[in-house]
A = this chain, B = another copy of it.
Amino acid sequence: MSFVTVSNLWQRYGTRSILERVNVDIHEGEFISIVGASGCGKSTFLRMLLAQEQPYRGEIRIDGGTPAREPNLERGVVFQKYSVFPHLSVRDNLIAAESFNTPFGRLSRNARKAAGRRADDMLERIGLNHVAHQYPASLSGGMQQRLAIGQAMNAKPRILLLDEPFGALDPGTRLQMHDFLMELRDETNMTVFMVTHDLQEGFKLGDRVLVFDKPRWDPHDPGRYGATITYDFDARDGGIPFQMKEETDVSE
């Protein structure tokens, strides 16, 4: 009962292969951590999940639907930075998650009131009600990311994509964010993909940890082969590998 199906996914820029033959099935409600060396294509994979760019080959389906051609309401996203709108107050950022989906980007008065109430609920959940009328620039990095996550959730996406959401935070704040994210997830049972640099974080938060790496390597032409999922760990019970996708064969 696969919810997100990635089948035979390739990506290349110019003549450089970034990803190749990525196949993976994700169940609804799973929390997927994605780790791998810098530049191996984790963000690229996320961008394709987001439909921000189209794969060179292969496809990604959510719940069996047709592959999306551009980002839409089904996919929520939080980047490391710039994920909230600096010109909107904290509360308006949350309301935007509803108002942007209208022809003029504005809600009628009644709809606005209802959205405002839902925004207040969300503010409560993300613990930002005391700064509801401030602008993002006056919030700390951690608060901004909490807002970004709340905003993404407010639009009720089917999958939530996080690209190093805590990469710019200091260690203490990071830990708080972990707790925050786990709580939210327990409440909503969202399907989440999270790219992280921090292995520990990946195993702590994820149900599964996908490791991206190049299975083949051409020393004369490093751009020839792309990365793929080389390990797929079950992290629910603390991180014991349950499945090895492929033998890593350097000499191939």
A197 proximity list for chain B (CB < 8 A): 170, 172
Copies of the protein in its oligomer: 2
Majority SS at the chain A contact face: loop
* A71 vs chain B, min Cβ distance (A): 27
Closest to A199 in B: B172
Task: Compute how far the CA of A172 lies from the CA of B200 in the bound complex, rounded to whole angstroms.
Answer: 11
Q: Which residues of B contact A170 (CB under 8 A)?
A: 167, 197-198
- The docked-state distance in angstroms from the alpha carbon of A198 to that of B172 is 8
Cα–Cα distance between A171 and B198 once the two chains are bound (Å): 8
When chains A and B are docked, how far (Å) is the Cα of A197 from the Cα of B140? 15
Please give me the residue from chain B that is nearest to A140 by CB atom.
Answer: B38
A184-B172 Cα distance, complex, nearest whole Å: 27
Q: How far is the CB of A58 from chain B (nearest CB, A)?
A: 32
- Closest B residue to A167 by CB, please name it: B170
* Bound CA–CA A198/B171 (angstroms): 8
* In the complex, chain A residues 140-166 whose Cβ is within 8 Å of any chain B Cβ: none
How long is the Cα–Cα vector from A197 to B172 in the complex, in angstroms?
Answer: 9
Q: How far is the CB of A185 from chain B (nearest CB, A)?
A: 23
Whole-angstrom CA separation of A34 from B170 in the bound complex = 17
> Closest Cβ of chain B: how far from A57's Cβ, in Å?
33
Residues from chain B with a CB closer than 8 A to the CB of A167 are 170
Taking CB atoms, residues of chain B closer than 8 Å to A172 are 197-198
The smallest C-beta distance from A170 to any residue of chain B, in angstroms, reads 6
| A119 to B43 Cα, complex, angstroms | 38
Interface residue ranges of A170-220 to B (CB < 8 Å): 170-172, 197-198
Interface of chain A residues 12 through 42 with chain B (CB within 8 A) = none
Q: What 5 A-B pairs come out closest when comparing CB atoms? A: A171-B171, A170-B197, A171-B198, A167-B170, A170-B198
Interface residues of A (CB under 8 A from B): 167, 170-172, 197-198
7 contacts across the A-B interface (CB closer than 8 A): A167-B170, A170-B197, A170-B198, A171-B171, A171-B198, A172-B197, A172-B198
